[in-house]
Amino acid sequence: MSSTPRRIVITGLGIISPLGSTKQSLWEGLSQGRSGVQRLANSLPVRIGSPCPQFTGEIDNFGELDKETKKNIRKGLKVMCRECQMGVAAAQWALADATLKSASIAPERIGISFGADYMLSLPEEFTEGIVRCVDAQGEFQFSRWGNEGMAKMSPLWLLKYLPNMPASHLAIYNDFRGPNNSLTLREASANLALGEAFQIILRDDADVMLVGATGTRLHTMKTIHAVQQEEVCADHEEPAAASRPFDRHRNGMVLGEGAAAVVLEELSFAQARGATIYGEVLAAASSAVAGPRLIADRRQAMQNVLKSVLRSSGLSPDAVGHVHAHGLSTRTCDVDESRAIDDVFGRRDAPLPVVSAKGHLGNLGAGSGLIELIASLLAFEHTTLFPTLNGTAPDPECPVSVVRDGEVPPGENFINLSVTPQGQASAALVRRFV
């Protein structure tokens, strides 16, 4: 490696969110206090959620594509579940935003790091086969499944639900032959994928990395899992007011779906081709903490990653511009996160501004972290932070300074923070490019 560390910058952004699929629609929704939470008309065990209604899975949702790429993606749609489709679409938007198609780049020098939730088949995949195995008394006969039931399933059904498929599809469609990996660590996946891509470029194993994350909590089985195991706001008389990060009246996370992607490049490579630079990645960190009975210690895990990115970047707590918090809107996680932030930044000369896009979007699973990172990058561009929606009543158990109006500057850098119920935390520190 060179004695001079490589600098890694962000040059492309792609978004599929409940507030739209463009940078403009996302920022306008956040800054104008619009919510993506709406009442749902389906059979899920929740009555409200944050879907992406503009994303229909049609080829036009994937941005401007050359003829060959468009043909290949259209052909591949039948072996992509909705999460895969959203991830591929967000990534293609990011590549278009970075204008990488016009760049001269060796395919071995561009790779992919992609985060995802665990993926589950839809029950509909099995319906016809199950019906075929029901006897005259209406009982399912397991002995008939191998010969009769399986024959009614698509032979490629499993390919639709493998969490490594977004990265696989994208590598094939764009002829990216560099390092390729997929991470499935729920909500922590986005920052972890970014961190891995950052390290790959840093050690000179690639010049460009496509980083993405896609997820959904609005899925028949996943929603049931969430309702059974987590703090979920299943209904609210005013859906737009349901997700309330760090607010005294919060009563659970709102379930949603979404995806995002960014393009990372080595600085001199990006400058040589005249790329637009949105920010520079300085550090990323991961920590998983659980007690002797495997009970997650989210506070300690988040404290660890916050300290780690400060140490790696050489920044002091007073030098941080803002934190884009996980802000799940649950009673327990918001308290754990607030205390972790206070543990690290509580002695600052001035309070640390804290924002959370989940007030507008809810929990989008693995897709949340990267959409939130992009939101903070857009705050650089617009020189102000967006107000955290529904954070109107401060909770004394959450000792953080939540941004409640649009007059707070984003600072020169920010930390993006995420955590899972299992105690896996991740963080990324990004600064304004100068």
- Give the per-residue pLDDT at 2: 46
- Give the per-residue pLDDT at 123: 86
Nearest-angstrom CA–CA distance, 47 and 56 = 21
Residues of the chain predicted below pLDDT 50:
1-2
- Give the per-residue pLDDT at 42: 79
Which regions of 167-246 does DSSP assign to beta strands (E)?
180-183, 208-216
Going from the C-alpha of 42 to that of each of 51, 218, 220, 330, 412, the distances in angstroms are 12, 10, 10, 24, 44
In the numeric block, which tokens belong to residue 405?
A: 């109006």
- Give the per-residue pLDDT at 325: 98
- With tokens 């072996």, the residue in question is 79
Q: Are 79 and 285 in contact (CB under 8 A)?
A: no
- With tokens 């520190």, the residue in question is 429
Q: Are 18 and 362 in contact (CB under 8 A)?
A: yes
What is the CB-side half-sphere exposure of residue 157 using CA atoms within 13 A? 15
Nearest-angstrom CA–CA distance, 178 and 334 = 39
Q: Any idea where the domains of the chain sit in the sequence? A: 8-119+162-431
Closest by Cα among 281, 407, 309, 432 to 355: 407
In the numeric block, which tokens belong to residue 425?
A: 């935390």
- Give the per-residue pLDDT at 105: 86
Ramachandran bin of 386, using left for φ above 0, alpha for ψ from -120 to 50, beta for the remaining angles: beta
Q: Which burial class, exposed, middle or buried, applies to 362 when counting CB atoms under 10 A from its CB (0-12, 13-18, 19+)?
A: buried
Going from the C-alpha of 336 to that of each of 153, 362, 420, 434, the distances in angstroms are 45, 18, 12, 34
Nearest-angstrom CA–CA distance, 22 and 38 = 20
Q: Which residues, in sequence order, are CB contacts of 202 under 8 Å at separation 6+?
A: 5, 6, 8
Q: Which burial class, exposed, middle or buried, applies to 347 when counting CB atoms under 10 A from its CB (0-12, 13-18, 19+)?
A: exposed
- Give the per-residue pLDDT at 239: 97
The superfamily in CATH containing domain 8-119+162-431 is: Thiolase/Chalcone synthase (3.40.47.10)
Q: Which residues, in sequence order, are CB contacts of 56 under 8 Å at separation 6+?
A: none
Q: Are 94 and 10 in contact (CB under 8 A)?
A: no
- Give the per-residue pLDDT at 183: 97
